[in-house]
Amino acid sequence: MLGVGWLLPAIRQHRCSHGIHAALFKRNIISPIECAGLQAAHAELGKTAQDFRRLHQERQELLGQWEGVLKAISKRDAAILEAGELWLDNALTKGEGNTCAGAWVMV
């Protein structure tokens, strides 16, 4: 039965074949275990960055929706004020509601 010892250097080289990790590994600055750990940390950091970008995009969409709601509320408030003014003008023109007209305060 053949051992796999001859295959280990190839596996180590494959694991550490990306960018700076490969350079550090080739110069024997880091061990294969450290190289694998760095690559795992690098992959996790990439995933975290991707999650952050996704969450940031969702936040921007929520802020846009919130701004839309605020604009709708502002338009509704303006429409309510305008309707109140029209009602008051009609009531004063027709002579109705003279007693309550003094209670209206325009802001």
* Residue 81: per-residue pLDDT: 96
Containing H/E element for 107?
none
Please tell me the total number of residues recorded for the chain in this structure. Answer: 107
Per-residue pLDDT of the chain (107 residues; tens, 9 = 90+): 344 444 445 445 545 555 665 666 666 666 666 767 777 888 899 999 999 999 999 999 999 999 999 999 999 999 999 999 999 998 888 875 555 545 555 54
Contacts of 97 (CB under 8 A, 6+ apart): 91
- Ranges of each domain in the chain: 7-80
Would you say 21 and 35 are in contact if contact means Cβ atoms under 8 Å apart?
Answer: yes
* Residue 1: per-residue pLDDT: 39
Predicted model pTM: 0.49
CA distance 15 to 22: 9
Contacts of 91 (CB under 8 A, 6+ apart): 97, 100, 101
